[in-house]
Amino acid sequence: MVKKVRSHISQNEQLLFEMSSPGKKGYQLPDLDVPVVDPAAALGGQAVRKEIEGFPEVSEVEVIRHFTRLSTWNYAIDLGMYPLGSCTMKYNPRVNEQVARTEGLAWAHPYQPESLAQGMMEVIAALEGALAEITGMDAVTLQPAAGAHGEMTGILLIRAALEKQGNPRKKVLCPDSAHGTNPATAQMVGYDVVNIKSNDLGMVDVAELVKAVDGDTAALMVTNPNTVGVFEEHIVQVAEVLHSKGAMIYMDGANMNALVGVARPGDFGVDVMHLNLHKTFSTPHGGGGPGAGAVAMKAHLEPFAPTPRLKFENGLYGWDYNRPDTIGRVRAFYGNFGVLVRALAYIMAHGGPGLRNATMDAILNANYIRKGLEAFFDLPYQSPCMHEVVFSDDRQTKKGVKTGDIAKRLIDYGFHPYTVSFPLIVHGALMIEPTETESKAEIDLFIDAMQSIAREIDEDPQMVLKAPYTTRTSRVDETTAARKPIVRWKPSPAAS
C-alpha cells in the first residue's frame, strides 16, 4: 500500500511564448533622469535590432503563475527523501539562503577596492581554513565552479608539479567504478586514460594497480568511499604505490559526506582532491547548479594553485596575482562566492562535533536501509558500506524488470528514485544515499516502498514496467527526443 502520497490537482500551463500577447509587460523602469539617446544615432542604424522575434510578452501575475505552476511539477528535497546515490541530497538550510543575500555581500563587485572587500575575503579565508582542517590538507582554492571543474583544477596542479620536475608524464589511471567526469577531466588535461579493474570487494585491486603504475603514470583518480559506497581499505598502500613511482593520488571527494570528522584524505596519502560544496556542505542543487568545487591540496602543490590567491599581510587580506608557477585561472573572478557563503554557514551551524555527527548519521541511515532491503535485492559487494548502499537488479531482471523500471515505480510511492545504472561495474545498479537529514520515519517508508515494489515484481512485473501511474506526465519517450532533437520552441506555421 502506498502510505506516503496521494494525488492532487496540478495546473496545466503553456509555454511562455504560447501565452504571450502583444503589449503585455511585467516590469517597470524608473524615469530616465538623463536625456534619452537615440540608439540609431549612437550605435549606427545598421547595428540596432528591430525586435526580439518571438520573445514573450506577459504580465507579472502571469509570470508568477507560470513558474509557480511549473514548480509544482517537480519533486524536491523539501517534499521528501531524495536518495540519489553520489549526489548527497540533504536538507538545504534556509538560513544559508538568507545570509547569501546579505546586501554588502550580494552586491559586492569583484573589482571593488580591497579595502571594501575585507568582509568577503574573511569569508573566503574562514572557509578555506575549515575545509583544510576537514580534509587534512595544507591549502584550499575556492575558484572552481563545480566538482568536475575542481577535478580539472586538481589534475592541472599535478601536471604542473610534474612538469616542473621535468616530465608531465602521459597517463592517468581511473578505476572502472569512477564517475564519468574523472576520465573526461584527465583527457582535457592532456592525459591518456587507463581504466583499472576493481576487485570483488568493489575496491581498487592493489595487484592490478602495481602492474599499471609506471614512470608514465601521472596520477590515480580515486573516489573514497568509492562509488559502491565502500571505503578503500588499502588506501594508504595505494598512495604508497603511486608515490613510490613518483605519481600522485587525486581524490574525487564527491562522497566526503561519509568522512567529515571521521577520516581525512590528507592523513591517508591523498595529494589533492575536490569537494562538492553542493553535496557535502548542503548548498542547494537548484535543479542542476550552481555548485562549487573547492580543491584542497598538499603544500607541494600550493605554488601551482590558480591565480589569484588570497593573502594576508599587515593585518589586511588581499589578492596575490604574483604567482610565477600558477596553472593560471580556471574561471573569472574568485569562485562561486554566493555558494561559498552558504557552505560556511553550514559549517558554522554544525561546528566540529556536529559535522562528525552528521557523517555518522549518514552512515547509520545507509546501513539501516541496507539491512532493510538486502533480503529483497541483490547486494553485489558484501563489504561494509559507508554513506550509501548499491544493490543490483539481478533478481528483478529475471522477471524482466530493470533498475530504471523500479525507479519509476518508486515515484508512485512518493519518493524520488535512487541513482540508476551507476556505477557501471554493478549490473543494473540501484545506488541509494539517504543522507543524515532523513528521519527514521521517512526511511521506514522508503524501505517499505522498496519491499513492496520487490513483491509487485514477483506478482505482476508487467504492472511495474508501465510505472509511474500517478504523475501528471507518464513515461517520457527519451528515444524519440534524441532521434529528432527539438531543443527550442518555434511558432507553429498555422499560428503565424
Partner 1 sequence: MLGAIGVSHIDELIAHIPAEARLNRPLDIPAGKSEFDIVDYFRERGDRGANGYPTFLGAGVYRHFRPVVADVIVQRSEFLTSYTPYQAEIAQGTLTQIFEFQTMVCQLTGMEVANASMYDGSTAVPEAAMMAVRITGRNKTLVARTVHPEYREVLDTYTKHQGMPVAELGYDAETGRLDMADLAAKIDSDTACVIIQSPNFFGTVEELDALAELVHSKGALLVYVFTEAVSLGLLQPPLQADIVVGELQSFCISPAYGGPFAGIIATKEKFIRQIPGRLVGETKDTEGRRAFCLTLSTREQHIRREKATSNICTNQALIALMGTVYLSLFGKEGLRELAVQNLSKAHYLGSHFEPRFSGAYFNEFVARVGDPEALNAKLLDEKIIGGLPLGKYYPELADSMLLCATEMTKKPEMDKLLAVAGRSK
The per-residue DSSP string of 159-187 comes to HHHHHHTT---SEEEEETT--THHHHHHH
Among residues 387 and 399, whose Cβ is nearest to partner 1? Answer: 387
DSSP type of residue 387: S
Distance of CA 237 to the CA centre of its chain: 29
> Which listed range, 205-213, 229-237, 241-249, 452-460, lies at the site for partner 1 (CB under 8 A)?
229-237
175: contact with ligand PLP by CB under 6 A = no
Residue of 103, 314, 459, 495 interacting with partner 1 (CB under 8 A): 103
Nearer to ligand PLP, 307 or 336 (CB): 336
Sign of CA dihedral 230, 77, 285, 282: negative
Q: Min. distance of Cβ 282 from ligand PLP in angstroms?
A: 14
Identified binder of ligand PLP from the candidate list 56, 183, 291, 306, rule CB under 6 A = 291
Q: List, edge to edge, every strand of the sheet that includes 272-275.
A: 139-141, 295-297, 272-275, 248-253, 217-223, 171-175, 192-196
Q: Which does 223 bind (CB under 5 to 8 A by kind): ligand PLP, partner 1, none?
A: ligand PLP
Give yes or no for a contact between 142 and 334, defined as CB atoms under 8 angstroms apart. yes
Q: Pick one of 232, 252, 271, 393: the residue that binds ligand PLP (CB under 6 A).
A: 252
Closer by beta carbon to ligand PLP, 104 or else 180: 180
Closer to partner 1 by Cβ: residue 396 or 413: 413
CB 223 within 8 A of CB 254: yes
Q: Which is nearer to ligand PLP, 221 or 464 (CB)?
A: 221
> For residue 490, what is its C-alpha cell?
518555434
Rule CB under 8 A: is residue 284 a binding residue for partner 1? yes
Region of 112 on the Ramachandran plot (φ > 0 left; ψ -120 to 50 alpha; else beta):
beta
Q: How far is the CB of 90 from ligand PLP (least distance, A)?
A: 14
Of 159, 384, 133, the C-alpha closest to 264 is: 133
**Could you give the dihedral angle defined by the CA atoms of residues 453, 458, 460 and 463, in that order, rounded to the nearest 10 degrees?**
30
Number of residues forming the site for ligand PLP (CB under 6 A):
13
Of the pair 289, 303, the CB lying nearest ligand PLP is at 289
Amino acid, res. 362: A
Q: How far is the CB of 227 from ligand PLP (least distance, A)?
A: 6
Is there a contact between 396 and 402 (Cβ–Cβ < 8 Å)?
Answer: yes
Q: Which three cell numbers stand for residue 429?
A: 545498479
- The answer to the question of residue 448 lying near partner 1 (CB under 8 A) is no
* Backbone angles phi and psi of 129, in degrees to 5: -65, -45
Kind of pairing, strands 139-141 and 429-432? unpaired
Tell me how crowded residue 474 is: count the other CB atoms within 10 A of its CB. 12
Q: Select from 11, 167, 236, 458 the one that contacts partner 1 (CB under 8 A).
A: 236
How would you class 128 by CB atoms within 10 Å of its CB: exposed for 0-12, middle for 13-18, buried for 19 or more? buried
Q: How far is the CB of 232 from partner 1 (least distance, A)?
A: 9
Taking CB under 8 A as the criterion, which residues in 367-426 touch partner 1?
A: 367-368, 370-372, 383-384, 386, 407-408, 411, 416-417, 420, 422
Would you give the binding string for partner 1 spanning residues 36-75, x where CB under 8 A is met?
Answer: xx-x--xxx-xxxx-xxxxxxxx-x--xx-xxx-xxxxxx
Q: Does 403 bind ligand PLP (CB under 6 A)?
A: no
Cβ–Cβ < 8 Å for 234, 253? no
The whole-angstrom separation of Cα 369 and Cα 272 is: 32
Write each residue from 257 to 286 as x if it is in contact with ligand PLP (CB under 6 A), else as -, in one continuous string: -------------------x----------
Chain-centroid distance of CA 104 in Å reads 28
Q: Which of residues 127-146 bind ligand PLP (CB under 6 A)?
A: 146
Count interface residues toward partner 1 (CB under 8 A): 194
Q: Name which of residues 148 to 207 contact partner 1 (CB under 8 A).
A: 148-149, 151-152, 156, 159, 168, 179-181, 183-190, 193
- One of 136, 303, 380, 461 touching partner 1 (CB under 8 A): 136
Q: Give, as one character, the DSSP assignment of residue 62.
A: H
Site for partner 1 in 292-321 (CB under 8 A): 292, 306-307
DSSP string, 99-112: HHT-HHHHT--TTS
Binding mask 341-380 for ligand PLP (x = CB under 6 A): ----------------------------------------
Nearer to ligand PLP, 228 or 445 (CB): 228
Please choose which of partner 1, ligand PLP, none residue 390 contacts, taking the beta carbon within 5 to 8 angstroms, the exact cut-off set by kind. Answer: none
Q: Footprint of ligand PLP on this chain (CB under 6 A)?
A: 86, 146-148, 179, 181, 223, 227, 252, 254, 276, 291, 293
